[in-house]
């Protein structure tokens, strides 16, 4: 529980633009996760462990507006080790959101978002941050440049497809 509370405090810090506080909370959560050393359901089905802390690190890097750091952190995480489809889907969704903000990685962003949708469509299609990202990608793309996959996702989300 202690480690999970630090993860939530890190997100709250990031949401209020306190990057140093977010880093401190993530570091403490990482220390506890190393001690726990397992990826499982854990207390209260919080899925607290090293890989879930890694998923949170990716999310918080995106929240802080640092997509390059999010991609770097994502290389060290194996979301499949966390036995929660919701957590796995959020890993791919947040990674996709981060990559969508950079022109060079927008195609990869669509792939990550599609992977998230495949894992947990009910969560991803209604997530306001993912919906906003898909809408932005659609607006940025030319008529055909968005690709069939992106248009299909936008359609499944009920977003206006031109």
pLDDT of the residue at 3 = 87
Does position 144 have pLDDT exceeding 70, yes or no?
Answer: no
- Residue whose entry in the numeric block shows the structure tokens 């529980």: 1
> What is each CA distance from 19 to 5, 27, 37, 60, 150, in whole angstroms?
17, 12, 26, 9, 32
Does position 160 have pLDDT exceeding 70, yes or no?
Answer: yes
pLDDT level of residue 143 (50, 70, 90 thresholds): low
- Specify the pTM: 0.88
Distance separating alpha carbons of residues 144 and 24, to the nearest angstrom: 44
141 contacts 125 by C-beta, under 8 angstroms: no
Distance separating alpha carbons of residues 27 and 10, to the nearest angstrom: 9
Model pLDDT for residues 57-112, shown as the tens digit of each residue: 999 999 999 999 999 999 999 999 888 999 999 999 999 999 999 889 988 999 99
Q: Outline where DSSP puts E strands in 36-100.
A: none
């Amino acid at each position: 529980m202690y480690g999970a509370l630090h993860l939530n405090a890190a997100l709250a810090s990031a949401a209020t633009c306190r990057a140093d506080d977010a880093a401190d909370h993530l570091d403490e959560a990482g220390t506890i996760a190393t001690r726990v050393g397992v990826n499982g359901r854990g207390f209260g089905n919080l899925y607290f462990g090293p890989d879930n802390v890694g998923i949170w690190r990716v999310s918080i890097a995106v929240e802080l507006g640092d997509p390059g750091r999010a991609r770097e952190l994502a290389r060290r995480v194996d979301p499949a080790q966390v036995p929660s489809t919701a957590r796995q889907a959020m890993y791919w969704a947040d990674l996709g959101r981060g990559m969508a903000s950079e022109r060079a990685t927008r195609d990869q962003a669509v792939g990550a978002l599609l992977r998230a949708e495949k894992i947990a469509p009910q969560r991803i299609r209604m997530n306001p941050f993912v919906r906003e990202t898909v809408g932005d990608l659609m607006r940025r793309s030319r008529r055909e440049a968005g690709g069939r996959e992106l248009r299909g996702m936008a359609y499944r989300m009920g977003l206006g497809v031109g």
